[in-house]
């Protein structure tokens, strides 16, 4: 796709200068890297006279000696001893070649030559390079000759934003990671030599390798071959985690959950909704039913984060968490650059669940007190979450106990357009939570019916019930350290000894109910509270009366 975009823009005359970014160090097909691919598919059929390469480490090099001789003729041999020079000295001669003969110039590691940041903070050398690269994009002589300039960068945010201004014509083109079908085809190509065994199918390998480049997939195959082990689910998971952590670990938290929906007590309505409207439609390929984003509202400790982890496990989708403490940097432009990398990293994992906890504090418009950093990041996030091309590929899920503090732009339809209340568990749900927690920790117990304990723990959150069960285990250990058993009498004592710790339960519950825009997602006793036709606001007290 990226090559088609590149070729169309060159052929139509939209631009002759391009900035290819992101997955530019990968194989394009089964055996060619991007420079070789562009030479075979683009340069060779168009008879470029000179094909040259520049980076700050190696200077200016040429594809063939004859091309270097052609360059020296054009420059009257004045640049013969300057090929290893910095941009300010060699770029004027490159300029002569671009204007006088059909020249293809590759500038590798563009972020090292024209780094991001205020122009005033750049070195004289970097500013000189920035001027040349910017001016080349609008030079009609270069365009008429048919020359092409191709800049390569790993991260768009690392490159000076000056070259992307509308006054210039540098076209940024995203080189994406391979899709599932591309990965499957490449894996089949790799396994032709039968040098490694497989515990999983090629299709499963292709699904599990989402977010990886072809180079990384090849590394997995070579490591399995070197270690003499078959390629398995666990082997891929381990190697994939290592690759992704190295690439994005500074800006993203990767979640590998070990619990599914069956390990969560209660919340049946929410779990059923997620299965019917997220998991199953995505597996069927019908993305029209999938919401753009989901906002989980409710008091602390009710299991919002747990629910996201369970969704990731049940669905098998990748899951990442945006942690703003990893994003914010101390230098000018660093936070925005990190956030762009964060979003790109999340996008590369699709289908992926992107989780933002306490979104009311994570994303705000901000003001001038932080030099506009918060505002810039907020704007970027709005644009990304509102991109309908991401529907069903990137599932944004946010959690908050104060939805009233969220910016209205985040809550509008088309972003976080489904608001789901995660409220205190009902009696039967509390009984189920007791049972699940006992099973989770493998506590020995002689209790078969937890309903009496559920009745004693009204207004307890799931987290508080877990504290009660853990307290009961402490008591059981104190009485019989060799064989602790949680009896009914011990569990009742634990209930009596533990005090509710979550504050503002009533306020947070009320806010979650008022935020909910779908009657089907409310417990029955709250159903009458939503009168969407009149837009009536209610309180939790009214719920008790109903």
What pLDDT is stored for residue 523 in this prediction?
75
Give the chain's largest Cα–Cα span: 97
Considering 247, 281, 298, which residue would you say is the last residue of a domain? 247
How many domains is the chain partitioned into structurally? Answer: 4
Three-state SS for 319? strand
Domain identity same for 415 and 517: no
Domain identity same for 435 and 369: no
CA separation, residue 90 to residues 87, 128, 159, 495, 507 (Å): 5, 11, 20, 78, 67
Domain identity same for 238 and 285: no
What pLDDT is stored for residue 416 in this prediction?
87
Considering 421, 448, 472, which residue would you say is the last residue of a domain? 421
The tens digit of pLDDT for each residue in 205-246 reads: 998 888 889 999 999 999 999 999 999 988 988 888 888 888
With 0-12 / 13-18 / 19 or more C-beta atoms within 10 angstroms meaning exposed / middle / buried, residue 445 is: buried
Cis preceding linkage at 351, omega within 30: yes
Contacts of residue 121, defined as CB under 8 A and 6 or more positions apart, other chains included, come to 332
Domain identity same for 239 and 353: no
Cα dihedral 79→82→84→85 (10° resolution) = -120
Domain identity same for 92 and 134: yes
Instruction: For residue 402, give the CATH number of its domain.
Output: 3.40.50.300
Rounded to an integer, what distance in angstroms lies between the CA atom of residue 104 and that of residue 163? 19
Within a domain: residue 59? Answer: yes
Considering 175, 201, 220, which residue would you say is the last residue of a domain? 175
Domain identity same for 104 and 121: yes
Assess contact for 280 and 305: CB atoms under 8 A. Answer: no
Within a domain: residue 256? Answer: no
Under-70 pLDDT residues of the chain: 329-333, 366-371, 501-503, 527-546
Domain identity same for 415 and 429: no
What pLDDT is stored for residue 129 in this prediction?
96
Within a domain: residue 252? Answer: no
Rounded to an integer, what distance in angstroms lies between the CA atom of residue 217 and that of residue 236? 9
Contacts of residue 433, defined as CB under 8 A and 6 or more positions apart, other chains included, come to 265, 266, 425, 462, 465, 466
Domain identity same for 137 and 15: yes
What pLDDT is stored for residue 467 in this prediction?
93
Domain identity same for 314 and 397: yes
Helix, strand, coil percentages, rounded to 5, for the chain:
55, 10, 35
Q: Which residue range(s) make up the domain with 126?
A: 2-175
Instruction: For residue 236, give the CATH number of its domain.
Output: 1.10.8.60
Domain identity same for 451 and 324: no
Domain identity same for 123 and 143: yes
Q: At what angle do helices 233-248 and 334-347 cross, to 10 degrees?
A: 160
Within a domain: residue 255? Answer: no
Rounded to an integer, what distance in angstroms lies between the CA atom of residue 290 and that of residue 281? 7
Neighbours of 18 (CB within 10 A): 23
Within a domain: residue 253? Answer: no
């Amino acid at each position: 796709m990226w090559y088609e975009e590149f070729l169309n823009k060159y052929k139509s005359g939209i631009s002759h200068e391009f900035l290819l970014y992101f997955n530019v160090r990968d194989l394009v097909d089964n055996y060619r890297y991007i420079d070789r691919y562009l030479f075979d598919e683009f340069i060779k059929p168009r008879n470029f006279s000179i094909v040259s390469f520049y980076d700050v480490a190696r200077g200016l090099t040429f594809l063939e000696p004859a091309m270097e001789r052609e360059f020296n003729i054009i420059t009257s041999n004045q640049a013969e001893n300057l090929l290893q020079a910095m941009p300010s000295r060699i770029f004027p001669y490159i300029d002569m070649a671009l204007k006088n003969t059909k020249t293809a110039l590759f500038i590798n590691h563009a972020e090292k030559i024209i780094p991001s940041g205020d122009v005033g903070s750049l070195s004289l050398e970097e500013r000189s390079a920035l001027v040349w690269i910017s001016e080349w994009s609008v030079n009609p002589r270069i365009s008429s000759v048919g020359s092409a300039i191709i800049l390569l960068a790993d991260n768009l945010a690392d490159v000076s934003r000056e070259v992307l201004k509308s006054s210039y014509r540098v076209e940024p083109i995203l080189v994406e990671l391979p899709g599932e079908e591309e990965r499957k085809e490449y894996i089949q190509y790799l396994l032709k030599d039968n040098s490694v065994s497989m515990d999983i199918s090629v299709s499963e390998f292709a699904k599990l390798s989402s977010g990886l480049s072809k180079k990384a997939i090849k590394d997995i195959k070579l490591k399995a071959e070197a270690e003499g082990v078959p390629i398995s689910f666990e082997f891929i998971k381990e190697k994939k985690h290592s690759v992704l952590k190295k690439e994005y670990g500074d800006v993203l938290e990767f979640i590998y959950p070990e619990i599914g929906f069956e390990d969560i007590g209660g919340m049946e309505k929410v779990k059923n909704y997620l299965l019917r409207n997220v998991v199953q439609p995505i597996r069927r390929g019908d993305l029209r039913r999938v919401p753009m984003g989901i906002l989980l509202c409710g008091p602390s400790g009710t299991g919002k984060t747990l629910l996201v982890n369970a969704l990731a496990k049940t669905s098998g989708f990748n899951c990442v968490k945006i942690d703003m403490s990893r994003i914010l940097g101390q230098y000018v432009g660093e936070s925005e650059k990190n956030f762009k990398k964060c979003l790109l990293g999340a996008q590369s994992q699709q289908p992926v669940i992107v989780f933002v906890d306490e979104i009311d504090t994570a994303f705000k418009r901000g003001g001038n007190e932080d030099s506009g950093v918060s505002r810039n990041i907020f704007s970027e996030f709005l644009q990304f979450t509102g991109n309908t091309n991401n529907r069903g590929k990137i599932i944004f899920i946010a959690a908050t106990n104060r939805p009233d503090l969220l910016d209205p732009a985040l809550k509008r339809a088309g972003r976080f357009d489904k608001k789901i209340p995660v409220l205190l568990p009902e009696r039967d749900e509390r009984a189920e939570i007791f049972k699940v927690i006992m099973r989770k920790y493998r506590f020995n117990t002689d209790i078969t019916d937890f309903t009496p304990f559920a009745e004693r723990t009204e207004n307890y959150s799931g987290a508080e019930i877990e504290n009660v069960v853990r307290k009961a285990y402490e008591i059981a250990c104190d009485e019989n350290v060799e064989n602790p058993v949680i009896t009914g009498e011990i569990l009742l004592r634990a209930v009596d000894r533990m005090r509710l710790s979550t504050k503002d339960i009533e306020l947070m519950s009320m806010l979650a109910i008022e935020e909910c825009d779908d009657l089907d997602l409310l417990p029955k006793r709250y159903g009458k509270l939503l009168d969407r036709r009149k837009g009536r606001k209610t309180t939790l007290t009214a719920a008790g009366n109903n």
